[in-house]
């Protein structure tokens, strides 16, 4: 049995008074039975965690089932242990106090000298060493043995036999690996420190169960286990310390309820969300969840047929190009299925498209049609003949029951469930054709190519970001160097050729504005630093070093230039009085640096166009990224392979969304009930009712958030179409003088269907 925290784990007992016909939950690999589903799910999740240990091999980090499989494989290897050596190996193990590794090494060394029949090793044959197998052990003295061996070829076939002494046999590798010996020790013993064999195993091989004399004073029995005296001393010392602590704490009483609350809080903190939805319990910090809205169920067809209706409609519309079938709405398809007319164009074209597709493929249906020598063109008059031949090919008694009705030309009187079942069989037959499989392979390759291009774009974008960051870092370092130069910091004089010649790097030249912000200077604005006379330089230094009249400056305008080029706000304690430039100089700088704009605001002459240009570039990049993302999603949607649900809720109800319909369909866990949400308010209520602590509802909420805008737009579009239909129907009802023809009624829109992609 697998171990949990290196201790045996007890399986759950079967429920009491279990009835033979009672429905229960059983775990497959342990055969445990549970009445309550939460108990079953809790135990199953515990078995799925990687906290189990294989008892035989000692491997950790396994699930319960993996540990069982590991134990079975290890046990099979251990059972291959030769019986001739079992007595010797078990005698070494019994009451040994060595660690597992040392005990396995000692057994391997002693068994290396004991050879048995069937052992494969190498023997000396002349001057060479050849592989051989021991066939017989011949004892010639008390401790002397000879061995009859058979020489083996490359395929381990016996070529000839010989008799060798023990000195002529060569062991190129040990008989058993250390891992096999460890597994053998674990499998054979019931406890360690000291190692004790199972009673039945010891009796079967005649191993003594009496404690040896060297251990009698050091070990003792407690609760059926053999315990060393060292552990006993440690336990006694621990008991003494516990007793002394209890005596000190006799006067202090601890409230049990507080301890229980603390334990409960610790348990709650230990839970790592998300977990299984059925194990999630309400907490004090949870948001307020709204009641989940009940989905609408006003279908025109029986509830058991909704799944087939959605499957057939989605596939016919998704692969309309391949089938040469113009797409139509789900509502039109539902109304056409329920209509009693036998030649509804929408249904005739759907059947005909599938029949043409099957005839192209060389299958049973195609051969049956060719043998009947039917007309190659499927029309409104002969399409039922193709349908009857298809029913003969699939030969389903429930469907062939309607064959006579179809032959008489009364297809509209067939049950809705039978109509949808026939269509679903047709669709499944088309999916199995070679043409369809080739098309699917082509679509899958295209999707893979799109994904590869998308990944390449993401990698290129990441590379550009890294390069931009490195460039900004380099600029900030150079700006920080010049900031230090302008603030009066000492600059190394070993490399000043550029300054002496009156030239400097454009990136390293910045202009200090009165607002404390730095901007890049153009070359036309740069004045050589050496062109300033020494008197002017001294005057500027003296003006900058003099304190102001008040001795204070505004904290917001004082910044310290850090070596990295970044500015940080100074505290008042760090502020040193600095003298600003004189009023005339200040006004002149302001007039040079700033100019009025059209709106009356002052902006930097060089900064404003650069900022606007950068903003435009950022906006264009964002727009291009969004456009590329939309383009990628549209192209992937065009290359449809199969429809998957958005997700499941805590009760395993599946949620489906079809782009061509807009509604969100809800399928029960047993696929017997269906419903749908058709408004944005219902969608918002659904999303706010999902608990993110559960695995299933968390994934469902992510998918709903991902497609939220698209779903809302489709729902709003659908609601507008419904409003227009209601208005049109009301106008038709109010018309009393002139009766409108039936085809103008919006409810009969499916009767006006035309297949624009029809294959001629």
Query: pLDDT digit string (tens) for 719-737?
Result: 887 777 666 666 555 554 5
Element (DSSP H or E) covering residue 688 = helix 680-688
pLDDT in tens, 65-93: 888 888 887 777 666 667 667 777 888 88
**pLDDT confidence tier of residue 667, bands split at 50, 70 and 90:** very high
Whether residue 693 is contained in a domain is answered as yes
CA distance 551 to 578: 8
In a domain, 68, yes or no: yes
**pLDDT, tens digit, for every residue of 181-194?**
777 787 778 777 77
Query: Does some domain include residue 624?
Result: no
The pLDDT-based confidence of 427 (bands split at 50, 70, 90) is very high
Same domain? For 70 and 84 the reply is no
Last residue of a domain, one of 54, 74, 94: 74
Q: Say what the pLDDT of residue 185 is.
A: 81
Q: Is 54 exposed, middle or buried (0-12, 13-18, 19+ CB in 10 A)?
A: buried
Give residue 687's pLDDT band: very low, low, confident or very high (50, 70, 90).
Answer: very high
In a domain, 695, yes or no: yes
Same domain, 29 and 101: no
Residues 84 and 220 in one domain: yes
Name the more confident of 658 and 599. Answer: 658
User: Which of residues 626 and 2 earns the better pLDDT score?
Assistant: 2
Tell which wins on pLDDT, 212 or 510.
212
Same domain, yes or no: 35 and 101: no
pLDDT tens by residue, 325-343 = 999 999 999 999 999 988 8
Q: Which of 584-593, 616-625, 701-710 has the highest mean pLDDT?
A: 701-710
Q: How does pLDDT run across 213-269, given as a tens digit for each residue?
A: 777 666 666 655 666 655 444 444 445 545 544 444 444 444 445 555 455 555 545
Q: Which of 209, 226, 243 is the last residue of a domain?
A: 226
pLDDT value at residue 682: 93
Residue 51 shares a structural domain with residue 128: no
pLDDT beyond 70 at 28: yes
Closest CA to 351 of 402, 300, 386: 386
* pTM listed for this prediction: 0.50
When mean pLDDT is compared across 131-145, 205-219, 309-323, 615-629, the lowest value belongs to 615-629
Nearest partner of 686 among 697, 699, 670, judged by Cα: 697
List Cβ neighbours of 662 (8 Å cut-off, separation of 6 or more).
Answer: 678, 711, 714, 715, 717, 718
Query: What average pLDDT does the structure give for the chain?
Result: 74
Residue 617 lies in a domain: no
Asked if residue 194 and residue 89 are part of one domain, the reply reads yes
Q: In terms of pLDDT, which residue wins out, 512 or 346? A: 346
> Does 186 share its domain with 306?
no
> Over 90: is that where the pLDDT of 305 sits?
yes
**pLDDT-derived band of residue 689, with 50, 70 and 90 as boundaries?**
very high
**Cα 173 to the center of its chain, rounded Å:** 45
Q: What integer pLDDT is reported at residue 601 of this predicted model?
A: 41
**Whether pLDDT at 349 is above 90:** yes
In this prediction, residues 538-557 reach a mean pLDDT of 44
Residue 685 is predicted with a pLDDT of 93
Predicted local confidence at residue 10, as pLDDT: 87
pLDDT at 174 over 80: no
**Rg value, the chain, Cα:** 43
More confident: 560 or 340: 340
Q: Are residues 92 and 141 in the same domain?
A: yes
Instruction: Retrieve residue 62's tokens.
Output: 């396994």
Q: Tell whether the torsion through CA atoms of 716, 721, 722 and 723 is positive or negative.
A: positive
Same domain, 308 and 425: yes
SS3 546: coil
pLDDT attached to residue 573: 43
| Burial 374-396, CB ≥16 within 10 A → b, else e | eeeebeeeebbbbbebbbebeee
Question: What pLDDT, in 10s, does the model give residues 565-591?
Answer: 444 444 444 444 434 444 544 454 444
Which of 17, 39, 74 terminates a domain? The answer is 74
Residue 675 resides in a domain: yes
User: pLDDT tens, 94-136?
Assistant: 878 788 888 888 887 777 666 777 777 788 887 778 888 888 8
Let me know: does 120 contact 157? Beta carbons within 8 Å.
no
Q: Work out how many domains the chain is built from and give that number.
A: 4
Q: How far apart are CA 497 and CA 491, in angstroms?
A: 13
pLDDT value at residue 533: 47
| pLDDT (average), residues 133-160 | 79
The answer to the question of residue 26 being in a domain is: yes
User: Are 38 and 117 members of one domain?
Assistant: no
* 426 in a structural domain: yes
Looking at the fold, whether 211 and 328 belong to one and the same domain comes out as no
Domain that residue 392 falls in? 301-439
List strands edge to edge, sheet with 52-53. Answer: 7-8, 3-4, 52-53
pLDDT band at 503 (very low <50, low <70, confident <90, very high): very low
The band of 690, judged by pLDDT with boundaries at 50, 70 and 90, is: very high
Percent of the chain beyond pLDDT 70?
68
412 and 388 within one domain: yes
383-423 confidence digits (pLDDT tens): 998 999 899 888 888 999 999 999 998 999 999 999 999 99
CB–CB of 433/439 below 8 Å? no
């Amino acid at each position: 049995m697998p171990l949990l925290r290196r201790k045996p784990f007890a399986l759950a007992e079967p429920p009491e008074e279990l009835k033979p016909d009672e429905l229960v939950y059983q775990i497959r690999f342990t055969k445990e039975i549970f009445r309550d589903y939460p108990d079953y799910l809790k135990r199953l999740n515990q078995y799925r965690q990687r906290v189990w240990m294989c008892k035989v091999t000692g491997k950790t980090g396994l699930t319960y089932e993996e540990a069982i499989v590991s134990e079975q494989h290890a046990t099979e290897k251990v059972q291959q242990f030769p019986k001739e050596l079992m007595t010797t190996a078990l005698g070494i193990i019994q009451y040994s106090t060595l660690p597992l590794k040392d005990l396995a090494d000692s057994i391997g060394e002693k068994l290396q000298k004991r050879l048995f029949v069937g052992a494969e090793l190498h023997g000396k044959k002349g001057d060479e060493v050849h592989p051989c197998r021991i066939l017989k052990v011949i004892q010639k003295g008390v401790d002397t043995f000879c061995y009859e061996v058979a020489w083996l070829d490359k395929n381990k076939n016996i070529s000839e036999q010989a008799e060798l002494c023990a000195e002529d046999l060569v062991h190129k590798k040990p008989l058993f690996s250390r891992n096999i010996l460890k597994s053998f020790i674990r499998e054979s013993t019931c406890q360690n420190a000291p190692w004790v064999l199972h009673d039945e195993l010891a009796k079967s091989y005649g191993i003594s169960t009496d404690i040896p004399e060297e251990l009698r004073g050091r070990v003792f029995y407690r609760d059926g286990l053999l315990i060393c005296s060292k552990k006993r001393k440690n336990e006694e010392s621990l008991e003494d310390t516990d007793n002394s602590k209890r005596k000190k704490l006799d006067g202090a009483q601890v409230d049990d309820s507080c301890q229980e609350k603390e334990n409960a809080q610790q348990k709650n903190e230990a839970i790592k969300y998300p977990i299984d939805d059925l194990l999630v319990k309400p907490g004090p910090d949870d948001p307020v969840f709204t009641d989940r809205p009940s989905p609408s169920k006003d279908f025109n067809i029986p509830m058991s047929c909704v799944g087939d209706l959605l499957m057939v409609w989605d596939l016919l519309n998704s692969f309309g190009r391949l089938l040469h079938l113009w797409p139509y709405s789900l509502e039109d398809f539902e109304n056409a299925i329920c209509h009693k007319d036998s030649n509804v164009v929408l249904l005739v074209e759907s059947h005909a498209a599938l029949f043409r597709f099957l005839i192209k493929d060389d299958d049973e249906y195609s051969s049956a049609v060719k043998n009947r020598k039917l007309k190659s063109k499927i029309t409104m008059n002969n399409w039922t003949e193709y349908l009857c031949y298809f029913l003969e090919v699939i030969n389903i008694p429930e469907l062939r029951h309607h064959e006579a009705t179809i032959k008489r030309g009364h297809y509209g009187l067939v049950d809705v469930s039978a109509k949808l079942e026939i269509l679903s069989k047709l669709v499944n037959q088309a999916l199995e054709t070679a043409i369809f499989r080739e098309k699917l392979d082509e679509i899958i390759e295209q999707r893979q190519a799109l994904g590869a291009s998308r990944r390449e774009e993401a990698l290129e974008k990441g590379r550009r970001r890294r390069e931009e960051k490195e460039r900004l870092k380099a600029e900030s370092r150079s700006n920080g160097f010049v900031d230090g130069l302008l603030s009066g910091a000492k600059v190394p004089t070993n490399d000043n050729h550029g300054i002496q010649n009156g030239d400097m790097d454009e990136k390293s030249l910045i202009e200090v504005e009165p607002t404390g912000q730095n901007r890049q200077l153009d070359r036309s604005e740069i004045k050589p630093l050496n062109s300033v006379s020494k008197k002017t330089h001294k005057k500027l230094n003296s003006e900058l070093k003099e304190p102001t009249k008040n001795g204070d400056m505004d904290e917001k305008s004082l910044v310290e230039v850090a070596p990295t080029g970044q500015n940080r706000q100074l505290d008042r304690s760090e502020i040193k009085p600095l003298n600003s430039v004189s009023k005339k100089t200040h006004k002149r700088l302001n007039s040079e640096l700033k100019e009025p704009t059209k709106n009356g605001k002052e902006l930097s002459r060089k900064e404003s166009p650069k900022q606007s240009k950068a903003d435009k570039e950022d906006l264009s990049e964002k727009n291009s990224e969004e456009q590329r993302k939309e383009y990628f999603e549209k192209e992937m949607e065009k290359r449809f392979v199969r429809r998957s649900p958005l997700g499941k809720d805590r009760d395993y109800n599946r949620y489906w969304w079809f782009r061509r319909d807009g509604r969100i369909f809800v399928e029960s866990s047993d696929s017997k009930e269906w419903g749908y949400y058709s408004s944005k308010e219902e969608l918002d209520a659904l999303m706010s009712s999902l608990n993110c602590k559960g695995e299933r509802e968390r994934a469902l909420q992510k998918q709903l958030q991902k497609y939220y805008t698209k779903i809302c737009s489709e729902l709003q579009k659908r609601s507008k179409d419904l409003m227009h239909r209601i208005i049109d129907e009301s106008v038709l009802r109010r018309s009393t003088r002139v009766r409108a023809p039936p085809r103008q009624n919006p409810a009969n829109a499916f009767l006006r269907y035309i297949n624009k992609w029809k294959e001629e």
